[in-house]
Amino acid sequence: MKKLTLLILILLVVVPVTLQAGGKKRAGTAAAPELTIPLGARYLGSGGSALAVATGLESIYWNPAGVDRSPFDANALFSYRSYIADINVAFAGVSGKFDFGSIALSLRSFGIGDIPVTTESAPDGTGEIITPNFFVLGVTYSKILSERTSIGVTVNLINEAFGRVSSSGVSFDMGVQYQNLAGVQGLGVGVTVKNIGPAMRYDGPALYRQAEETQSERGITYYKIGAAEFDLPSVFEIGLSYRHALSDQHTLNFSSAYQNNNFALDEFRAGVEYSYQNLIQLRGGYMLQEAPIGVSNVETPQPFKNLVLGFGVNLAEAAGMNMVFDYAYVPGNLFSDNHLISINLGF
C-alpha cells in the first residue's frame, strides 16, 4: 500500500510537468472528448469545484480518491444529462467496501441518435442511417489511508463506433484527497490527473477505397486509408475546500478548483453548498475559462454560461431511505440549457 501511495504521488507530480503545452491552440483536436463531459448533478451544481471533498460514486469523475469516503458499505448511482445537440449522457455505477479499500464499476453511455449518411454525389443523403455508439467502462480502486488522506485510481476502457469504423483505447485517472490541511478543521485539498493514456486511432472497412495503380497492371484494387492518431484530452486539477458549521442544523461548504487542460482553455471554478440538517442542499457555482491570448471571453462565447445552480434532497432523513436526489442546471449559451439529475442509493 505504501508503494502504491508513493507511485500515485509521484505521478501526480511528474505527469503534469510532462503534459504537452498549447491547449489554447489545440482545442477540439483531442481523441475521446466524451471523457471531459462532467458527470453527476451534486458536484456540478456547485461549479464542479469540489474535487477536494467529493465522495461516493460521483467522485469517480471528479476525484477517485473520494470513493472510499462514502459512509455506506455499498452504493449505486444513476445520473442522466441532456447535453448539447440532442446528445444525452447516462452514467451508472456501483461500489462496495472491502478490507483493502473500495472497488467501483461505472458505465457512461452517450446517446447521439441517428445520423443520415451523405456523400459528395448524394449531399441530401443516401438513405443509409448510422447510429454512433460511444461508451466508457471504468474500474475504480479507492482507499482511505488515514483519517486525513485517501487515494484513488480509475482505469477507463473507451469505445467509439459509428458506421463501419471504430476506435478503442484506455485511460487512467489518479487522485489524492487530504483533509484538515495545516491543522485547520474543515480545510481540504484535492489533486487529480485525468485522461492519461495512449493515443487513439480509427480503423475499419470504411477506410478502404477503390483505386487504380497507373504504374502497374493490377487494375482497380482496394487501398486502405491510414487514419491519424489523436492524443487523449489529459487534464491536471487542484482544488481547495472549506466546511464551516454555522450551527448543528446549518452548514456551508466552500470550494474552488483550477484545471489545466491539455487540449482546451484552462478553467477556474468556485462554488458553495448550503445544507440544512443534511436534509436539503442548495448549491451554486461559477465556472470561468481562460481567454485566448489577446482575445476577451466576450469575443469568444463558450457553449455554456458561467453560472451553475443545483439542489439536493436527502430522502434518508425524510423517509428513512438511503436515497439522495440531486439536480443541476447549466444555462446554455450557444446551445440549449442542460439539466442533470442523479439518484444515489446507499446500503
**DSSP track, 195-262:** EE---B--BSGGGEEEEE-TTSS--EEEEE--PPPB----EEEEEEEEEEESSSSEEEEEEEEEEEES
Please report the pLDDT score of residue 333 as a whole number. 84
Does the pLDDT at position 55 exceed 80?
yes
pLDDT per residue as tens digits for the range 276-319:
988 999 999 998 876 555 444 445 567 788 899 999 999 876 55
CB 104 within 8 A of CB 140: yes
Widest pairwise Cα distance in the chain: 87
Please report the pLDDT score of residue 159 as a whole number. 97
Does the pLDDT at position 269 exceed 90?
yes
Kindly list the distances between the CA atom of residue 320 and the CA atoms of 72, 275, 345, in Å, as whole numbers in the listed order: 14, 18, 12
Q: Which of these ranges, 29-33, 51-55, 149-153, has the smallest mean pLDDT?
A: 29-33
Q: Which of these ranges, 212-216, 298-302, 306-310, 322-326, has the smallest mean pLDDT?
A: 298-302
Quote the distance between the C-alpha of residue 336 and its chain's center: 20
Binned at pLDDT 50, 70 and 90, residue 174 comes out as: very high
Fold of domain 2-109+137-154+177-195+231-346: Porin (2.40.160)
What is the pLDDT averaged over residues 52-68?
96
Please report the pLDDT score of residue 281 as a whole number. 96
Closest CA to 46 of 312, 310, 303: 310
Quote the distance between the C-alpha of residue 261 and its chain's center: 13
Kindly list the distances between the CA atom of residue 183 and the CA atoms of 149, 178, 200, in Å, as whole numbers in the listed order: 13, 11, 44
What is the pLDDT averaged over residues 152-179?
95
Does the pLDDT at position 161 exceed 60?
yes
Q: Which of these ranges, 79-83, 242-246, 322-326, 332-336, has the smallest mean pLDDT?
A: 332-336
Report percent pLDDT > 70 for the chain.
Answer: 86
What is the pLDDT averaged over residues 162-176?
94
Please report the pLDDT score of residue 302 as a whole number. 74
* Bigger pLDDT: 129 vs 1: 129
DSSP assignment of 308-324: EEEEEEEHHHHHS-SEE
Stated length of the chain: 347
Please report the pLDDT score of residue 66 as a whole number. 97
Give the number of other Cβ atoms within 10 Å of residue 156's Cβ.
Answer: 23
Cell 476502457 identifies what position? Answer: 157
Please report the pLDDT score of residue 272 as a whole number. 97
The backbone torsions φ and ψ at residue 58, rounded to the nearest 5 degrees and listed phi first, read: -65, -25
What is the pLDDT averaged over residues 124-145?
93
Please report the pLDDT score of residue 11 as a whole number. 54
What is the pLDDT averaged over residues 64-88?
94
Provide the pairing of β-strand 323-330 with 338-346: antiparallel
What is the pLDDT averaged over residues 201-208?
91
Separation between Cα atoms, residue 238 and residue 222, nearest integer Å: 50
* Bigger pLDDT: 209 vs 177: 177
Binned at pLDDT 50, 70 and 90, residue 222 comes out as: confident
How is the chain split into domains, by residue range? 2-109+137-154+177-195+231-346
What is the pLDDT averaged over residues 271-275?
97
Please report the pLDDT score of residue 315 as a whole number. 84
Does the pLDDT at position 321 exceed 80?
no
What is the pLDDT averaged over residues 332-337?
86
Please report the pLDDT score of residue 195 as a whole number. 95
Does the pLDDT at position 270 exceed 80?
yes
Please report the pLDDT score of residue 4 as a whole number. 55
Kindly list the distances between the CA atom of residue 225 and the CA atoms of 200, 203, 205, 206, 304, in Å, as whole numbers in the listed order: 16, 9, 10, 9, 37
What is the pLDDT averaged over residues 22-47?
84
